[in-house]
Structure 1
């Protein structure tokens, strides 16, 4: 599901989130591709793509009114921009940047309070596999990587960074967010973009566009139907990253999120990906892509991030225990594993 633009961006700017980082980019203003056409059932299909959140974001909106489809899409893009400014950890002055710099934040935006609360919930649900405080480890890996992909690290480097990881040292309440340890930092890349896509979807529905599709890199939300009685069809890119698809899923009022590691690694051995295990900074799901289908993108986003640091057997067991969720694991060798109801519920 990734694309060449996103891959280039990630390599150039060192994205270290589970998907593309929640950051603004100058291309965002320049890249605005839109097209509207009338389809067989007399509705208009408005398709528009912009570069936001570090990736291409495409919205497909279906409506009997051309103007209504365009207007709803515009409001959805504005919502994405508004929320991205809250969760952006790269730009100075944003709430998350301030939290990471000072270790505390008061006057918390309700959206940030909600996402931080859900991040804490997924931390406990996954027994620590999903951990928003893993950023010091990721920064340490990026800082110590040389151009050849070798890591020049001592055991003390690992110990110091790993000692700052642990979401149980984050205090979240409506009056403020704070860290119990100095120099801790959070990244919401593994849950924030999913939340933003969900809110953009809500904006489309609230403005009369109940049938729509949003594609934001590896995070996809499908609402309603692509045509009467027909679900949306979404292809999942194969783990090799060569552009082929490993599966096609049927989505109606559901979401899919994919984590993969074929490009986002920090060492020549490709043992340390962008979603490392919090215990030893090693990624369990090496050379694979892992896709999760769930009712919302935020849920699929967080679950795929958590499952990605588990071994395949643990990952399938973990996802299978979640309500209304299914997963597919695709190895670079072509071997596929999936949860028991994957094919019956979403696979083709």
Structure 2
């Protein structure tokens, strides 16, 4: 008797179908599961080596195009080691991490350079976006999570009290040390760290001779060089409604793209309380369903996708139009699509 098909098998079958549809170098802002590492031989000087692992709370898929299968697999292994190292440092879910220690103690002396770099970039985007990007929303995230774990929707009073603990201007940053201005504060780098880690993993691949590659970490995507047979990489934008159609499909060589959506993590069935939170109001924004940003780095694309989601779609597109290095593709709650002036799709 044939074993029943699991949801994982169904996702893998859908991914393989999409790969055949879009070409040899394909990624999606949706999840692309794979059961194990695989290598395809395209000729005397070209292997396509793909490996997918669970990391950073999602599936991370790496695809390398290289003359040597062994060298590609070794480079991919080193890149995954870098992901694990950085994730262990930057996660707020572990009290032993650098971020966890900072949140618990309210200060950290001689913080790791990677953490300092991320916090500095986060504070920059907080200023640039008028507060739309704010890593100090962790108390609100905790309020959402803890309340709904008890089948309780947060009240306006609870939200207002928690808002007093939010504000990036209350992070003191000097001489390699960080400190909160008051007790009860906390940071989450979830809106920027995954992109930063993908960038670092890409750098490991390049440093090990794998210039042609693609990394997809649950919608945070880095492309470098070319896909198999000299083609550009193909990226399909996920439809928040989960229909069979993709709102847009683009081709990329060297670039970065990230997507934020209210369909990713939410705490109530109505999706009124989800993982993206406006640090000014204490509520999750609802005018967008999905925001995709293209940028020179996945770190910037990650942070700006969150920022534009917090803004109204028109304001978000207007902001991106004022930034020469970035482009965006916004799907509103009603399905209406808005694009920046230079969007390639």
TM-score by length of 2: 0.86
The CA distance in 2 between the partners of 1:324 and 1:40, in whole Å, is 37
Task: Tell me, in whole angstroms, the C-alpha distance in 1 between the residues paired with 2:150 and 2:264.
Answer: 15
Q: Output the CA distance in 1 between the equivalents of 2:252 and 2:39.
A: 23
Residue from 133, 136, 161 that aligns with 1:133 = 136
Q: Give the equivalent residue in structure 2 for 1:179.
A: 180
**Contact 1:239–1:288 under 8 Å retained in 2:** yes
Contact 2:198-2:215 at 8 Å conserved across structures: yes
User: What residue is the counterpart of 1:43 in the other structure?
Assistant: 46
Mapping for residues 91-106 of structure 1, pairs under 5 Å: 91-106=94-109
**How much has 1:160 moved relative to structure 2?**
1.5
Cα drift, residue 283 of structure 1: 3.0
Partner of 1:196: 197
Distance 1:214 1:92, change over 3 A: same
Q: Could you tell me whether the CA contact under 8 Å between 1:239 and 1:287 is conserved in 2?
A: no
Give 1:68 shift.
Answer: 1.1
Partner of 1:233: 234
Q: Secondary structure at the match of 1:134?
A: helix
C-alpha separation between the residues in 1 aligned to 2:313 and 2:340? 10
Contact 1:262 1:287 in 2 (8 A): no
| Structure 1 Cα separation of the partners of residues 95 and 150 of structure 2 | 27
* SS of 2:36 mapped into structure 1: strand
Number of aligned residue pairs: give it: 316
- TM-score for both structures, normalised by structure 1: 0.85
Partner-residue secondary structure (3-state), 2:213: strand
Task: Report if the CA contact (8 A) 2:63-2:214 is conserved.
Answer: yes
Q: Which residue of 2 aligns with 1:315?
A: 316
Deviations 1:154-183 (A, max 9, x none): x33112110111001001234311100111
Does the aligned pair in 2 maintain the 1:237–1:243 contact within 8 Å?
no
User: Given the superposition, is the C-alpha separation of residues 263 and 215 from structure 1 closer, same or farther in structure 2, using an over 3 Å criterion?
Assistant: closer
Distance 1:147 1:179 in 2: 29
Counterpart for residue 325 of structure 2: 324
Q: Which runs of 5+ in 1 are unaligned?
A: 6-18, 20-30
On the 8 A contact 2:320/2:340 being kept in 1, the answer is yes
Distance 1:200 1:124, change over 3 A: same
Name the structure 2 match of 1:59. 62
* CA–CA distance in structure 2, aligned partners of residues 186 and 160 of structure 1: 17
SS in structure 2 of the partner of residue 156 of structure 1:
helix
1:219 corresponds to: 220
C-alpha contact (below 8 Å) 1:108/1:174 kept by paired residues: no
Matches within 5 A, 1:1-348: 33-40=36-43, 42-145=45-148, 151-153=153-155, 155-227=156-228, 230-242=231-243, 244-267=245-268, 269-286=270-287, 288-331=289-332, 333-342=334-343, 346-347=344-345
Task: Give CA deviations for 1:314-336 in whole Å, capped at 9, x if unaligned.
Answer: 11011222222111112454421
User: Could you tell me whether the CA contact under 8 Å between 1:113 and 1:173 is conserved in 2?
Assistant: no
CA distance in 2, matches of 1:128, 1:40: 51
Distance 1:138 1:92 in 2: 16
Distance 1:243 1:90, change over 3 A: farther
In 1, Cα distance between the equivalents of 2:328 and 2:255? 13
Give unmatched runs, 5+ long, in structure 2.
Answer: 1-6, 9-28
Q: Indicate how the Cα distance of structure 1 residues 92 and 32 shifts in structure 2: closer, same or farther if over 3 A, else same.
A: farther
Which secondary structure does the structure 2 equivalent of 1:245 belong to?
coil
Q: Deviations over 1:83-111 (max 9, x none)?
A: 11110111121110010001000121111
| Residue 272 of structure 1: how far off its partner (Å) | 3.0
Inter-partner Cα distance in structure 2 for 1:263 and 1:298: 18
Aligned-residue offset at 1:52: 0.4
